[in-house]
Chains A and B, each alone.
Chain A
Amino acid sequence: GENVEQHPSTLSVQEGDSAVIKCTYSDSASNYFPWYKQELGKRPQLIIDIRSNVGEKKDQRIAVTLNKTAKHFSLHITETQPEDSAVYFCAATWGADGLTFGKGTHLIIQP
């Protein structure tokens, strides 16, 4: 089955700086890669996703890049703000399967 590795587990950045979270996946058949933001005790919220036929996608301060050859994808958050503090999960799946999540990254935005 699919295996998703996510790094780092904790990331602390100064407000206004950029944050980058990286994930690798094992199953070359995976074709959908969403990123979720989860606040304590709440449901994961989809913040951006990318499909395997696209190399990069951007939505305001958030961008995701995908390298299919290397089987890795990354989340980029620019101009970080205090409300960006949360746990971020990457995930991968193929077709109609359930999501395989990375272990999560605790993003801390320092004022």
Chain B
Amino acid sequence: GAVVSQHPSRVICKSGTSVKIECRSLDFQATTMFWYRQFPKQSLMLMATSNEGSKATYEQGVEKDKFLINHASLTLSTLTVTSAHPEDSSFYICSARAASMNTEAFFGQGTRLTVV
């Protein structure tokens, strides 16, 4: 299957700082990338959908000014958590899909964010 790489795998930051998470498709061009958040022992919740070259579409309740998403190329999308607070601590995971894929998407390894 296709490979999606996400970095960093773990990050600890101070409250009030910003953190950038990268999601790369290594062997295919990802026209669409999705960002999910998963709290401990809970399910994955879709945060936003980004299509290359256009603005991300955010799910209801997700603050677009706090979670900045950039999908500038067909192989890279970034999620920046701005002014992070302890309640933003979570597992963030991306998935990527190529235009040729019929709905199947491949997940990155995830990023464990801890805000102290």
Contact = CB atoms under 8 A, between A and B. Distances in A.
A101 B105 CA distance: 13
Interface residues on B, range: 20 to 34
Interface stretch (A12-20, A36-44, A58-66): A36-44
Interface in A1-52: 1, 31-32, 34, 41-46, 49, 51
Interface in A56-96: 89, 93, 95-96
Given A32-B103, A46-B104, A99-B34, A89 B43 contact: yes
Interface residues on A, range: 20 to 34
Contacts of A102: 43
Given A41-B112, A46-B104, A49-B104, A96 B97 contact: yes
A44 B43 contact: no
Contacts of B45: 101
Contact of A97 (B49, B107, B109): B49
B54 interface: no
A33 to B, nearest CB: 10
A97 B49 CA distance: 8
A42 B110 contact: yes
7 shortest interchain CB distances as A-B pairs: A32-B103, A98-B46, A43-B107, A98-B34, A101-B43, A103-B43, A101-B44
